[in-house]
Amino acid sequence: MASVPSSSSSSPSQPKTRKKPGQNSSPAPPPQTKWRTGTQERLYSRRLVDALRATRDRTQVQESVGSRAVKEAADSALALTARGQSRWSRAILFGRNSCRRKLLVKAGGKIRRHRRKQHGVPPVAAEPGVLKEQKVKERLRKLGRLVPGCRKLPAATLLEEAADYVAALELQVRTMRALADALSAATVSAPEEEETAAVDPMAIAEQGS
């Protein structure tokens, strides 16, 4: 990851110059610069915090917070940050809102949970060239399964979505890790904080001025 994300601490506002969904080719910013700006991180972190709080509030009554709920909340927050411009983000958002099963049943299609291995295993290839093609196709299919909502995409779109998704995932991981660590640190050091609570704000104020 040699690319350096643009500095964003100076920009107080959060201008989001997003590409229109219609433009799919070169005008789209590459996912690295798009997802590594500080604005994205801020946005995402805020959304993540909100989502986590909501999750906590929701589940506090019933039971302990499920990790799956947290994960889903995080994914939804990430998809929101993507603003529905990428296919996977739309798939996540729409997959969450209405239960996928209901949608599928309404549509009248079967719900295929597992991908049959028989379909996946290709027959014996004649030449090495064909073999390589099959390998590549297999992997593309696998990738399509990994990226949400990208199962039946052509290769070019799939790769684009995968790039976007990878960048978004990196952001998510970063933010979540920071948050988790912060929270854990907070919880751990919370009892010790109260002692120095009075002192620190003053010191900080002096430092800041």
Partner 1 sequence: MINLFIFTSSFLSLLVLISGASKTDYFTSFSPDLPLPTSPSPTFSLIRDSWSTTSNIFFSLFYLYINPERSTTPLLLSSHLSLPHFLSFSSHHIPLSTINPFNHLSSLFSSSSMDRDLFSHIDTDLNSISYLSLNYDHFDSALSSIVSSPSAAPTPPGPNDSLVLRELIGRLGTICNNKSASVGAGDHSANTSCYSTPLSSPPKSSLHPLPNMNPNPNPMPFAPDPGFADRAARMPCFGGGPHMAMSGQLSRVSSSQSLMDAGMTGGVQLEGELPVRENGAGGRGANNGRKRKAGVKGKGKEASLASSGTVNSKISEEDQSAKRCRPDCKAGEKKGGTEEKNGNCSENNNGDRENKNDSDSNNANAKPVEPPKDYIHVRARRGQATDSHSLAERVRREKISERMKLLQDLVPGCNKVTGKAVMLDEIINYVQSLQRQVEFLSMKLATVNTPSDVNMDNLLQKDMQQPLYRSAFSYPNQPQVAPLNSLLATNSIPNLGMQPSSNLPFDGFGNANPQIGGFWEDDLQSVVQMGFGQNQEAALSSQSFQGSGPSSSDMKIEL
Q: How far is the CB of 109 from partner 1 (least distance, A)?
A: 26
According to CB under 8 A, which residues from 98 to 157 bind partner 1? 132, 135-136, 139-140, 142-143, 146-147, 155-156
Does the protein bind partner 1 through residue 189 (CB under 8 A)?
yes
Q: What tokens appear for 28 in the block?
A: 């789209």
CB 80 within 8 A of CB 50: no
State in angstroms the smallest separation of the CB of 119 from partner 1.
18
Contacts 24+ apart (CB under 8 A), 139-142: none
Q: Is the dihedral of CA 155, 20, 148, 162 positive or negative?
A: positive
Distance CA 130, CA 136 (A): 10
Q: How far is CA 162 from the centre of its chain?
A: 11
Q: Which H or E run contains 169?
A: helix 155-196
Smallest gap from residue 106 Cβ to partner 1 (A): 29
Q: x/- string (CB under 8 A) for partner 1, residues 166-185?
A: xx-xx-xxxxxxxxxxxxxx
Q: State the nearest-atom distance from the C-beta of 90 to partner 1, in Å.
A: 18
Residues from 38 through 77 that contact partner 1 (CB under 8 A): 38, 41-42, 45-46, 48-49, 52-53, 55-56, 60, 64-71, 74-75
Q: Is 208 in the site for partner 1 (CB under 8 A)?
A: yes
- Distance in angstroms between the alpha carbons of the first and the last residue of the chain: 36
By beta-carbon proximity to partner 1, the closer residue of 99 and 182 is 182
